[in-house]
Amino acid sequence: MTKFTINFIGRLQEFSFFRATRRTMAMLMPIAVVGSYFKLLGDLIFTPNGLIYNIFNLDKVLSDHIWYGGSFVCRGMVEITFGVFGVYASYFMARYTARLYHKDSTMAGLTAVLIMLFCSYASSSGRNARMPFTASLLQINAVFIALIVGYCVGQIFHLLGKDFSYVEYEGTKVIQKRAGDAVLPSAVSLLLGVFLGILIYELQLKLLNSASFNEIVSRVQTTNNFGEVLLLTTVITFLDWLGIGYPLRSLTGMVNNAFTAENLTYTLKHGNSWNVPYKYLGSSLINSYGIMGGASVVLAVIVLLLIRRDNRENEINAKINLLSAAFGSSLGFAVGLPLILNPVFILPSILIPLINMTIAVAVISLHIIPVCVYQNLKGTPGLLVSFFGTNGSWATLFFTLLLFLLDIFLLLPVIKINEKIELRIKNQEME
Amino acid sequence: MHKNPNYKWLILVIIIIIMLAVPSFFWMKKDNKSRAELSKSLLSPVIMVPGSSATTERFNQLIDELNKTTLNRHSVIKIRVSREAKLTYSGSIGKNDLEPFIIIGFDNNKDGYSNIKKQAKWLNVAFESLIQNYKFNNFKAFGHSNGGLIWTYWLEHYYSEYSNDIKIKKLMTLGTPYNFTENNINNRTQMLADFIKKRSALPTNLKVYSLSGGKNYESDGIVPESSVAAGKFIFQKQVKNYTAITVTGEKADHSDLPQNKQVIQAIRQYLLKKPEKPLKPAKRKGNH
């Protein structure tokens, strides 16, 4: 069985799309790590509902100058890393795809960037006069689109481009020849890109900005039907694995609607949350037990990698992302390993949240732990989200820690398979 | 077996989490407790702001009149706000009084748009201090003359900070010159234009009552009727409902309005909580 799985996934990994994705992600890991640490810093200190900002009363301690300065730096750094991640991703994706076929990869990368920017311009044109580009298409939360664009451009270069080999000394003449050689594939790609842009503009296609997923998100926020919650969670975690993180991201922030308010009002009146009107509210379950603020899958994988120390690169990766992932800023690692678009992790990324939520619902309905109703401050460590969400119920904390141990246990075979597959890839690439 | 050097990183992260978790735990307990107190509170004060050149003593007569007919006397708190935004409290809330009057007056009580902006800022300082001292989750606002302008400015610029926890139920303004002393409604002053521009910030569940005095057919002697009526451009179609009332007869000029019988009647009827009705046996419906 294990052997079959390894063979199957190994085959899958050999597809040019996954090969190029792996390389792209490896290249972008540093950018994602910088982004996730600045996001963490911003969440903890430089937002009015940040954890450290509130508990240490920084409102009084920090001067306005410092606070606004820090907030500016954090927002800016997140904007230039996560905000325009699609630009980088499309560039490297086109580059590594073209390189698989020994084509001129730099020109392919540039073409992909042009197309991404044009599509982003098309989707924002005429709507928001203040911002020239809606970042939505370029966001890390929509990285799947950028990868697809990059891959398509790479394939066009594969079909139409001339073979290319690097030369040591690149004089102007050589570069001019390169540009000349790239005219055909670049022009075809751009033409298709313009066509895509026109479609987006004319049909007002809101490719992957949060509005497209509003329906799913609002359903999961307002449903109290556990079957529906499971179904929607499957969709949302699958999209997240694919590199479309919008739905998940909008659930893990502050969810504030009539349902959460009713639960909170009940709790404040009665002093406990055992019998709130909506016990199985989707958003609360996903956030506290399904994703556990990034602890259920990401942190568990990091801990396993650190304990097993099988692969040096992965170990370093896990080490630098440990702190940010522990506080719920997990994108750095999702790009770095990668978890995104990595066939090994598709099943665990979907199943573990479902298992966690099912156990949590059983335990809630048995009245062993109360319902999470309180809002968390930003930057709350993932493992403590449910503890603070229940006004400090020790049973809940204990339960969450057990759940985390279970997740680690469940992920152990996955990590073992991953080790074998990585070894296989390494051997293949050596050949 | 070698010792795994990564364990020290894991332990370090656990220590950091615990070091943050302990103060977070106490902060959270405190925060949730005060939220619970807030949501259980039955207190619903009436916060009053006098007009230009008037002090916290402006409503004494009005309150005396109101208290004459109520079973439970409304207690009164007065807050003076200095130019440096220092607060001076006087008075206290009676033990069983759930609807106290809180009067906020400013040392700089001059007229003019720039002063109204300042006064709104001072009002906000006083309001912030009030919600820390007295837990309440809803209140009613009353403003005489420029007091109504200060409330409107405060609602458009400051209220959103509190709107999650504290609801303003009603706003009553009395002879409030939304277009200053301008007679012609087509000449909008800067202030009115600003109010209209930011009207979407006004809470949609607010009930607004705008009372004006009719000393003659045009004005209450000081404020033109059309200036009071300009309030509709700010509130109508934005708040839950907007009611305009004109009182005439005796004591209908601008500075007498707070002592006017009809005004006092309107306050009792629209602004204050209705006295609880005596319990009647529920009518039995059903089959004969």
Residue-averaged pLDDT of chain B:
88
**Predicted pLDDT at A125:** 65
DSSP letters of B7-20? HHHHHHHHHHHHHH
Subunit contact B24:A380, Cβ cutoff 8 A: yes
pLDDT above 70 coverage of chain A, percent: 95
**Predicted pLDDT at B278:** 44
State which amino acid sits at residue B168: I
Subunit contact B6:A315, Cβ cutoff 8 A: yes
Residues of A in contact with B160 (CB under 8 A): none
**Predicted pLDDT at A205:** 63
Confidence of residue B45 (pLDDT cuts 50, 70, 90): very high
**Predicted pLDDT at A26:** 93
State which amino acid sits at residue B204: T
Mean pLDDT of B226-248: 93
Q: Where are chain A's structural domains?
A: 2-11+210-430, 15-202
Distance of CA A7 to the CA centre of its chain: 27
Confidence of residue B287 (pLDDT cuts 50, 70, 90): very low
Mean pLDDT of B65-74: 80
Subunit contact B6:A388, Cβ cutoff 8 A: no
Least confident of A104-113, B2-11, B199-208, B232-241: B2-11
Residue B253 covered by a domain: yes
**pLDDT over 60 at B283, yes or no:** no
**Predicted pLDDT at A233:** 93
Residue B156 to residue B121: CA distance in whole angstroms: 12
**pLDDT over 80 at B164, yes or no:** yes
Distance of CA B77 to the CA centre of its chain: 14
Contact A229, A282 (CB under 8 A): yes
- The 3-state DSSP class for residue A103 equals strand
Distance of CA A269 to the CA centre of its chain: 38
Residue A193 to residue A199: CA distance in whole angstroms: 10
- Measured between alpha carbons, how far is residue A328 from residues A39, A85, A255, A322 in Å? 10, 19, 16, 10
Residue-averaged pLDDT of chain A:
88
Instruction: Give CA angle at A278 (A275, A282), nearest 5°.
Output: 135
- Measured between alpha carbons, how far is residue A399 from residues A233, A291, A407, B51, B276 in Å? 21, 15, 12, 59, 48
Residue B266 covered by a domain: yes
Residue B157 covered by a domain: yes
Contact A69, A372 (CB under 8 A): no
- B136: domain CATH number is 3.40.50.1820
pLDDT above 90 coverage of chain B, percent: 58
> Shortest CB distance from A374 goes to which of B27, B32, B40?
B32
Residue A95 to residue B156: CA distance in whole angstroms: 52
User: How far apart are the CA of A319 and the nearest CA of chain B, in angstroms?
Assistant: 8
Residue B27 covered by a domain: no
Confidence of residue B279 (pLDDT cuts 50, 70, 90): very low
Q: Crossing angle, helix A394-430 and helix A300-308, to 10 degrees?
A: 60
Residues of B in contact with A265 (CB under 8 A): 39
Subunit contact A55:B20, Cβ cutoff 8 A: yes
pLDDT in tens, B100-140: 999 999 999 999 999 999 999 999 999 999 988 888 889 99
Contact B96, B73 (CB under 8 A): no
Residue A338 preceded by cis peptide, ω within 30: yes
Residue B251 covered by a domain: yes
Residues of A in contact with B27 (CB under 8 A): 54-55
Contact A307, B1 (CB under 8 A): no
Residue A279 to residue A385: CA distance in whole angstroms: 17
Residue B212 to residue B228: CA distance in whole angstroms: 7
Confidence of residue B199 (pLDDT cuts 50, 70, 90): very high
Confidence of residue B286 (pLDDT cuts 50, 70, 90): very low
Cα atoms in the Cβ-side hemisphere of radius 13 Å centred on B37: 12
**Predicted pLDDT at A253:** 65
**Predicted pLDDT at A256:** 72
- DSSP β-bridge partners for residue B77: B91, B102
Q: Tell me the pLDDT of chain A (431 aa) as tens digits.
A: 788 888 888 888 889 999 999 999 999 999 999 999 999 999 999 988 899 998 998 888 888 889 999 999 999 999 999 999 999 999 999 999 999 999 888 899 999 999 999 988 887 765 554 454 556 788 898 899 999 999 999 999 999 988 877 777 778 888 888 888 889 999 999 999 999 888 887 776 665 555 667 788 888 888 888 999 999 999 999 999 999 888 888 787 667 777 888 888 888 888 888 888 888 888 889 989 999 988 889 999 999 999 998 888 899 999 999 999 999 889 999 999 899 999 999 999 999 999 999 999 999 999 999 999 988 888 999 999 999 999 999 999 999 999 999 999 999 999 999 999 988 888 887 76
Residue B106 covered by a domain: yes
| Residues from A in contact with B at Cβ < 8 Å | 51-52, 54-56, 265, 268-269, 271, 303, 306-307, 309, 315, 319, 322-323, 326, 374, 377, 380-381, 383-384, 388, 391-392
**Predicted pLDDT at B69:** 72
β-strand B87-91 against B76-81: which pairing, if any?
Answer: antiparallel
**pLDDT over 50 at B288, yes or no:** no
Q: Crossing angle, helix A105-124 and helix A85-100, to 10 degrees?
A: 150
**Chain B, window 26-65: residues with a beta carbon less than 8 angstroms from a chain A beta carbon:** 27-29, 32, 35-36, 38-40
**pLDDT over 50 at B281, yes or no:** no
User: How far apart are the CA of A45 and the nearest CA of chain B, in angstroms?
Assistant: 13
pLDDT above 70 coverage of chain B, percent: 94
Cα atoms in the Cβ-side hemisphere of radius 13 Å centred on B28: 26
Which of the pair, A205 or B187, is modelled with greater confidence? B187
Mean pLDDT of B56-82: 87
Residue A93 to residue A340: CA distance in whole angstroms: 14
As given in the structure block, the two tokens for residue B192 are 């009115």
User: In a mutagenesis test of the B interface, which of A55, A305, A378 is the best target, namely the one with the most B β-carbons within 10 Å?
Assistant: A55
Residue B240 to residue A123: CA distance in whole angstroms: 37
Phi, psi of B77 (to 5 degrees): -120, 135
Confidence of residue B208 (pLDDT cuts 50, 70, 90): very high
Residue B103 to residue B89: CA distance in whole angstroms: 10
